[in-house]
Structure 1
Amino acid sequence: MQLDHVVFGYGDRAPVLDGVDLELEPGTVTALVEPSGSGKTTVTRLIARFWDANQGAVRIGGVDVKDLSDEYRAAQLSLVFQDAYLFNESLRENIALGDPDASESEVLHAAELAQVTPIAERIPGGWDGSVGEGGKLLSGGDRQRVSIARALLKKAPILLLDEAIAALDRPYALPSSRCEAKSRCPSLSIRPKPSPTPTASRSLSTAASPRSVLIRSCSPATRATPPSGPAASKPSSGSLAAVM
Structure 2
Amino acid sequence: MLKVSNLNKSFNKNKVLNNISFELNKGEIGVLLGKSGAGKTTILRCINGLENFDSGQIIVDGKIIDTSKDIYKLRGKVGMVFQNFNLFPHLNVLENIIQSPVNIFKIKKQEAIKSAKELLKLVDLENKIDSYPCELSGGQQQRVAIARACALMPKVLCFDEPTSALDKDTIKNVVNIMNKLKSNGMTILIITHDVDFANEVCDKIININNGEIEVVISK
Please state which band the TM-score falls in when normalised by the shorter chain.
Answer: 0.7 to 0.9
Q: Which residue of 1 aligns with 2:72?
A: 71
Q: Which amino acid aligns with 2:72?
A: E
TM-score for both structures, normalised by structure 1:
0.69
1:77-113 Cα shifts (integer Å, max 9, x gaps): 1111112111111122112336444465542332233
- Residue 74 to residue 114, structure 1, CA distance change in 2 (3 Å): same
Q: Which residue of 2 aligns with 1:114?
A: 123
Q: Which residue of 2 aligns with 1:165?
A: 163
Tell me the distance in 2 between the aligned counterparts of 1:137 and 1:10.
39
Structure 1 residues without counterparts, runs of 5 or longer: 121-126, 195-200, 224-244
2:209 aligned counterpart, secondary structure = coil
Select the structure that is richer in strand.
2
Tell me the distance in 2 between the aligned counterparts of 1:62 and 1:103.
27
Q: Which amino acid aligns with 1:192?
A: H
Conserved? CA contact 2:198–2:205, under 8 Å: no
Count of residue correspondences: 197
Which deviates further from its counterpart, 31-40 or 93-102? Answer: 93-102
Structure 2 residues without counterparts, runs of 5 or longer: 103-107, 213-219
Q: Which residue of 2 aligns with 1:204?
A: 198
1:45 aligned counterpart, secondary structure = helix
Alignment RMSD (CA, Å): 2.7
1:32 aligned counterpart, secondary structure = strand
The reply on whether 1:176 has 2:170 as its aligned counterpart is no
Identity %: 23
Task: Determine which of 123, 128, 131 is the counterpart of 1:129.
Answer: 131
Q: Which residue of 1 aligns with 2:215?
A: none
Conserved? CA contact 2:39–2:209, under 8 Å: no
The reply on whether 1:40 has 2:40 as its aligned counterpart is yes
1:4-62 Cα shifts (integer Å, max 9, x gaps): 1111122232x111111111222221111111221111111111222222122222234
Tell me the distance in 2 between the aligned counterparts of 1:99 and 1:179.
22
Q: What is the 5 A alignment of 1:1-244?
A: 1-13=2-14, 15-66=15-66, 69-87=70-88, 88-97=90-99, 99-100=101-102, 101=108, 102=111, 104=113, 106-117=115-126, 120=128, 127-131=129-133, 138-169=136-167, 170-171=170-171, 172=173, 173=175, 174-181=177-184, 183=185, 185-192=186-193, 194=195, 201=196, 203-204=197-198, 209-218=201-210
